[in-house]
Amino acid sequence: MRGIRSWIWVPLVAILFFALGEPQPAGAKDKWLPINPGDLALKDNPASPGSDAMILYRQETLNEAQHYGSEYYRIKIFTQKGADKWGNVEIPYLPDFQSIVQVRGRTIEPNGTIVDFDGKAYDKVVVKAGGVKIYEKSFSLPDVQPGCIIEYKYNEPSDPGRYLRQMEWDVQRSLFTREAKFTFVPLPVDETGEGYYGWRSLFLSNPERPKKRSNGSFVLTVHNVPALITEPYMIPKNMIRGRVEFYYSTHGNETAAKFWKQQGQQWDKSLESFIHKKKALEAVLATTVNSTDSPDVKLQKIYARVQQIRNLSFTPSMTPEEEKREKIVDNHNVQDVLKHGYGTWEDINDLFVGLARAAGFDATLVYVAPRDRTIFVPGYQDPSELQVNIVEVKAGSQDLYLDPSSPQYPFGLLPWYENAAAGVRVTKQGGETINVPPENSTDAQILRQMNVSLSADGALSGTLVVSFQGQEAAVWRSSDSNDDQTQRRKDLHGEINGWLPANAIYKITKLDNWNDNSKPLVVEGTLKIPALVNRLYGRLILPLSLYQSSLTNAFTSAQRVNDIYLDYPFQYEDDTVIQLPSGFQVESLPKVQDIPLGAIRYHITANAQAGTVHITRKLVVNGIEFPVKYYDAVRSVLGTVKAGDSDDMLLERTSAAQGN
C-alpha cells in the first residue's frame, strides 16, 4: 500500500533523532562515565554566564543497520529554575513507529552522593498531528537541586520496516553543550555500488566535518555548541536548529536543475501509470458533473466527489490483522481507488488530477516542503524534503492550488503549511521549482459575538458565540479529527477560555458544522465573569476589550533573537454588546484607536445608546514572517493594540439613582 501521509511522521521522527532498532546489550546498561570533581564544583557556565543549566556531555548513536538508537545526557544544574525544568525529563516519540526503552538515570548531588532513579517512566499524549497522537515518555529524576549533576540514557527501538533514507544528528539543543559525540551506522549502500551516503551541516556556526570510518560509519565530536534560543512566535525550532543531515543518493555530480528535471520525470511517470484508466475516470465524471456546469463548478464537484473516498491517511493506524479483516489491499491505479472506495493521501490527489484532466483541465501535482517542519533548498537535491503534494489546476488565466487529500479543507483552501511553501511542479518535461503563493488574512477569520449584562456589583453574564472560518475552522477539524464530541468540546472550551479573564466561566451549549468543511465552525455558549469591573467612588471602570491576546502579550521583551513567524495571516473581529445596570450611564468612553495601514491593522471603537455600550474591534495580521530587524516596529504596533484593548470606559450613577 502506498504509505500513510509522510508529513505526519517523517519530521517528528527526525526530531527524535531517527532512532531505529534494537536496544543496546543489557550488560552495558549500568555503565556510566566517570564524574569529574571539577564539574561538581562548577557554579556557572563560563561560556554563557547566568545559565540555569548546561549539557556537560551527551552521546547520540544512530544505528540504522541494526535498527536502534540510543541517547545519553549529562547535565549540570545551576539554579532552582534549572532543577525544576531539567529534572523532569520528557522524551517525545511516536508509538506506531518506535518506543522508548531501558530508561536509566541518576542524580549526583553536590557532595558526590549518587541517587539512582528507580521510579517509573510514564506515557502521555502531548500533540495531535493530523489525527496521529504523539506521546512523551516522562520521568522525574530524584533529589534534583542546584549544584547537582543529572544524567540519563535510553534506547529507541523501531520497526525495521519503517526506516527512512534520511538520517540526522540533532546537534543543537535548548541548553549550551560543552561536548557531544555522535555516531551514525547506515544501512549498506546499494548492491550495484552506485549509491552513496552524503551529509550536510545546517545552522551550525562552526561546523565540523563528520569522519567516515573504514566500516562505513560516521562519527563527529563537537564542543561549545550554543543553546537554541526559544521565543514566542518563531520559526519552528526543528527547522533552524543546528544539525547534520545524512542522505542516500544514487545520483552523481549534476546541477540542481538537471536533478529536479529528472526527478520530475520520475514523478510524472508514476502519476501517468496511476491515472491511465481513462474509461473508469470518464464513467465517474459522467455522474459527477454536467456539461452546462461552469469550469469552477465542475472543479468543485470533482473535489467533493474525491473527498468522498475514505482517506486511510487520516484514520487511526491499523494493525496487519485489522487490515486483513477489513480486506484493505493496495491500490495500483485510480480504478482500484474507485472500486475499493478508499485510498491514501497520494491516491486521492492522483485521482483528482485524473478526473480534472478527463474534464479537460490542465492539472498536475506539485510536491512541496511543508513549512512547519522543513525548508526546501533545491541545491541539496533531496526529494525527502518534499514531504507532501498538492494539485495545481489551470482554470482560465488562474492557477488554483488544491489539496483534496486533506479532508478537513474545503475547495480553494490549502492546509496552512502548504501555503507560501517552496516545491517542484511535475511536468512531462521534468520538475520545475516553484513557490506556492501565500494566502490572505481573509482566509482565516475568527468572529466573536458577545452579548452580556453588567450588574451593579461589576459582574458580567450572557452569551458568547464564536465562528471559526476558513483556515481557523480547518485547523480545528484536522487536529481533533479522530476525537469524539466530548473531547472536541473540551479542546474548544480550553481555547475560548484562554481568551477570557482568569475568573471567567464559559460553558459550551452548542457546536455546529463540525462535519461540513464548507461552513464555519460555530461554538455557542454561556458566559459569566464575576467581579471584573473596578469600582471607584460609585463609578464602574470597565476595560474596552474583554478578551486576552496571546499575540500582544508575547512581545514584552525589549530584545529578540529570532524572526517573528506566524502560521498564517488571520483576522479577529469582535462585536460586543454590554447591557448597563439600572441606575448607571456612560460617563466617558475611550477615543477610537485606529491603525489603518500596514501588515498589522487594528480598529476599536465604542458607542453608547439606550442603556448599552456597543464595542467593535478588528485586528488584521496580513503577513507570516517579520524579520527580527523589524522587531521594534512590530512590538510598538502591538503595544498600541494592547493599550487600545485595555483602555477603560467609565460608568457613573444617574442623578435619579444618586438621589435614591
| pLDDT per residue as tens digits for the range 160-194 | 655 444 578 989 999 999 999 999 998 877 654 56
- Measured CA to CA in angstroms, residue 241 lies from 15, 170, 479 at distances of 10, 8, 25
Beta-carbon contacts of residue 171 (< 8 Å; ≥ 6 apart)? 177, 180, 182, 204, 220, 222, 225, 241, 242, 243, 244
pLDDT value, residue 655: 63
What is the pTM (predicted TM-score) of this model? 0.84
- Distance between CA atoms of 104 and 116, rounded to whole angstroms? 8
- C-alpha span between 371 and 373 (Å, rounded): 5
Predicted pLDDT of residue 95: 75
Quick one: which of 103, 63, 19 has its CA closest to 183?
A: 63
Q: pLDDT tens-digit profile of 376-389?
A: 999 888 898 899 99
Q: For each of the domains in the chain, give its residue range(s) and CATH number, in order of start.
A: 6-249 (2.60.40.3140), 256-435 (3.10.620.30), 446-659 (2.60.120.1130)
Task: Determine the Cα–Cα distance for residues 640 and 43; give it in Å rounded to an integer.
Answer: 42
* Amino acid code (one letter) for 294: S
Spatial separation of the C-alpha atoms in residues 614 and 451, rounded to whole Å: 9
- Could you list the mean pLDDT of each consecutive 10-residue stretch along the chain, which spans 660 residues? 37 34 41 93 94 97 85 97 95 80 94 93 72 79 96 85 63 95 84 71 85 91 93 89 84 84 96 96 96 95 97 79 82 96 96 97 97 89 91 92 96 96 96 95 97 91 98 94 90 95 95 95 96 70 91 92 95 97 91 94 94 96 95 95 93 67
Rounded to 10 degrees, the C-alpha dihedral 408/412/413/419 comes to: 140
β-bridge partners, 506 = 527
Tabulate helix, strand, coil % of the chain (nearest 5).
Answer: 25, 35, 40
